[in-house]
Structure 1
Amino acid sequence: MSSEPTIADVLRELAALEDPKIREANERRGDDYGVNLTRLRGLAGRLKAQHQLALQLWAAGDTAGRLLATLICRPKALSPADLDAMVRDIRSPKLLDWFVVNVVRASSHAEALRLRWKDGDDLLGRAGWSLTTERVVKKARDLDLEALLDQIEKEMKQAPIYKQWAMNHCLAEIGIRHAQHRQRAIRIGERLAVLIDYPASPGCTPPYAPIWIAEMVRRNEETQRQGRRTSE
């Protein structure tokens, strides 16, 4: 690939990375791309930041190309209106998550968009709740956690599946990170029973919030005990 590849060059390289087995596995999970993501990240590393190329890839509409676009665009060059239009055109859960992590969080508009998207349907709501979860973990000082728990308790059981996953993640992080809200978060999880029967792979923590909270709190406390023993 030349130092200044065209969109046609990049689309050809993406097509060469297509793996039918990966596509089949992703389609079973409701997604629509067939590119190994490690190899796609390698391509992004070679391209580096190329904002105009990223916009062209996004406009082309292919999910693999759009995943690549999230890695090579310049988030600060996108306005709130740009980001809002882009997120509303996403149909892939993996692309939605990459867009939030790689683009929206890196922009200066994340908080305003969090509030705009949180009450939306399915993937749009997932974007808003993913940004809310980040606030719970990193910048919870000005968040009304009780109000978030009220909304989760009222809405999560009936929420569309992708939004429900993000709300459940937020519920778990409130319980894990904020001890004063832990028991209420556990009670909400027990009453709603969202993902209670979801199978977890061996060695993985189940996504059912009460178990998730208890296990992560246990691990955190064990890490703290080991740290104290080391310092003695």
Structure 2
Amino acid sequence: MTFEETMRELERLGTAQTRKTYLRHGAPEPVSGVNFGPLGVLKKRIGTDGVLARALWASGHTEARFLATMVVDAPEMPWKELDAWAKGLDWYGLTPVFVSNVVLRSPHAVKALTWTQSKSEWVGQAGWQSLSALLTKTALLAGEDLLPWLKRIEQELPGAKNRVREAMNGALIAVGSTGGAVQAAALATAKRLGKVEVDQGDTACETPDATEYILKIQARKEAKAKAPAKKPAAKKAPAKKAPAKKPAASKRTRARA
């Protein structure tokens, strides 16, 4: 599909209700109002198209940018371009989509953690959400010393920008979910920080309590470990075929007298 065809399709797929929802959550104009179901279908039609993805991203259109993260060839993006996309983020709702669809598929995913040092609200948010995603969805940070991250969170979260605070709170939960001594340190950090306040705007969204979520994750892990392993279903023996019936002997007709 060409850029023009794609933009026309986005306009066609939009609904007033979804547009209203995006705007309420702070999405920048232009917005067509296309939710992720139709975007997923459109992504399948397009496949991977780096040229189209770059044009969609450059458009600044909300759903076009969502779609750009879906069709870009993330494993082939050089760091310089990935970093440029991060610096082009313009609202909190785009950031997790960018992290999930692009950063986690990039060979530069761990390098994205440098964004945690950014003074930009959206770039900083992307950095801390990348930390959460790397801890919960990959093994790239397995064996890494996570205590310095807890120290930074405790020191920097109180004075961080709104959505960076939210992302740092999520990172605290992700670090704590790794278990062991790190989990104990994360719980202690959460206790000292207290309730994290995030302005969620005109939405019903709530900021998760780090202590509560870490303990819930631990409880789920313990329950899973105690659960008896499911036995593999026994394979049914193939049904024996009934022996073929012998054809009935033909009756000889008597010779007529």
Could you tell me which residue of structure 1 aligns to residue 23 of structure 2? Answer: 27
**2:176 is the alignment partner of 1:175:** yes
Could you tell me which residue of structure 1 aligns to residue 192 of structure 2? Answer: 191
Q: Which runs of 5+ in 2 are unaligned?
A: 201-205, 232-257
Aligned counterparts of 2:48 and 2:59: Cα–Cα separation in 1: 18
Could you tell me which residue of structure 2 aligns to residue 77 of structure 1? Answer: 76
1:130–1:166 CA contact under 8 A, matched in 2: yes
Secondary structure of 1:118's counterpart equals: helix
Aligned counterparts of 1:89 and 1:197: Cα–Cα separation in 2: 23
2:166–2:207 CA contact under 8 A, matched in 1: no
Letter in 1 for 2:128: W
Secondary structure of 2:142's counterpart equals: coil
Letter in 1 for 2:228: G
2:14 to 3, 7, 18: 18
Aligned counterparts of 1:96 and 1:197: Cα–Cα separation in 2: 16
Secondary structure of 2:102's counterpart equals: helix
Secondary structure of 2:83's counterpart equals: helix
**2:118 is the alignment partner of 1:93:** no
Letter in 2 for 1:127: A
Q: Quote how far apart the aligned CAs of 1:213 are.
A: 0.8
List aligned pairs for 1:54-203, cutoff 5 A: 54-115=53-114, 117-120=115-118, 121-137=120-136, 138-195=139-196
2:79–2:108 CA contact under 8 A, matched in 1: yes
RMSD: 2.4
2:100–2:133 CA contact under 8 A, matched in 1: no
Higher helix share: 1
Aligned counterparts of 1:207 and 1:109: Cα–Cα separation in 2: 29
Matched residue count: 221
Letter in 2 for 1:85: A
1:120-174 C-alpha deviation (Å, 9 max, x unpaired): 1321111111222233333333532111110011011221122112211111122
Secondary structure of 1:109's counterpart equals: coil
The TM-score normalised by the length of structure 1 is 0.86
Secondary structure of 2:219's counterpart equals: helix
Letter in 2 for 1:91: D
2:110–2:140 CA contact under 8 A, matched in 1: no
Secondary structure of 2:94's counterpart equals: helix
Q: Which runs of 5+ in 1 are unaligned?
A: 200-204
Could you tell me which residue of structure 1 aligns to residue 223 of structure 2? Answer: 222
| Identical pairs, percent | 28
- Closer/same/farther in 2, CA of residues 196 and 158 from structure 1, 3 Å limit: closer
Runs of 4+ in 1 over 4 A off after TM superposition: 196-199
1:123–1:162 CA contact under 8 A, matched in 2: yes
Q: Quote how far apart the aligned CAs of 1:198 are.
A: 9.5
Secondary structure of 2:117's counterpart equals: coil
Could you tell me which residue of structure 2 aligns to residue 39 of structure 1? Answer: 38
- Closer/same/farther in 2, CA of residues 54 and 173 from structure 1, 3 Å limit: same
**2:10 is the alignment partner of 1:8:** no
Could you tell me which residue of structure 2 aligns to residue 202 of structure 1? Answer: none
